[in-house]
Amino acid sequence: MEEATRLFADRGFAGTSLQDIAEATGLTRPALYHYFGSKDDLLFRLVSELAEGPAEQLEQILTKPETPASERLREMAFAVAFQQASHPARFRLMVRSENELPENLSTTYAQARRRVLHAFSSVIDEGVRTGELRPVDPRTSALGIIGLCNWVAWWHHPEGERAETAVAEGLAEMAVASVMAQDNRPAEGDGAARALQLLKQDLAMLERALTE
């Protein structure tokens, strides 16, 4: 997979053959067929690992109702950042070569990206409604956090799993901090009801200050 990624990056999908990949790995072409029946099979594997796999992982994290929204958001951001930090060349290649993908793979890739965006948007929306997160636009915030996590593929150089873990943990913390509610005052209700309670507290405090 790594040699195929390198060759695709150098020559493009169309300019790389299974024979090229076989030679780069030191395998015979028949031996390569043991792993992949065609170049499309290899491309499908790349797309699955880079898009469909993460989408399924994020959807599993999303469906943990007992876990606070902020913690699920942290898990999601960590998962994406860790993958990009672990396989940056693959992700860069996929982004640069989207227009070269066969139609069926292009559709699969686009659908997986929409699933990722939906998972992030949903957990942020939930956090906003419960008052755990600031009243931000879920979709805009989701795109910003996804971009934060994906960009690691352009500046991080793999140095071992511990290094990737540290980078992913740091980015996940930044992602949560960017949308976390800062007001920790006690108030009943969620979402708009909580906001109204806090507003009443502010008005009461203002009235006392003006009276004094």
**CATH of region 47-181:** 1.10.357.10
Tokens of 118: 């939906």
b/e code 36-47 from CB counts within 10 Å (16+ = b): beebeebbbebb
Predicted pLDDT at 185: 56
Among 76, 82, 69, 78, CA closest to 180: 69
Predicted pLDDT at 161: 66
SS3 133: strand
Q: How confident is the model at residue 172 (pLDDT cuts 50, 70, 90)?
A: very high
Among 121, 170, 164, CA closest to 148: 170
Q: How confident is the model at residue 184 (pLDDT cuts 50, 70, 90)?
A: low
Question: pLDDT tens digits for 101-155?
Answer: 778 888 888 899 999 999 999 999 999 988 889 889 999 999 999 999 999 988 9
Predicted pLDDT at 111: 92
Question: pLDDT tens digits for 3-34?
Answer: 888 888 778 777 888 889 889 989 888 888 88
SS3 137: coil
pLDDT (average), residues 59-80:
94
Q: How confident is the model at residue 170 (pLDDT cuts 50, 70, 90)?
A: very high
Please state the domain extents for the chain. Answer: 47-181
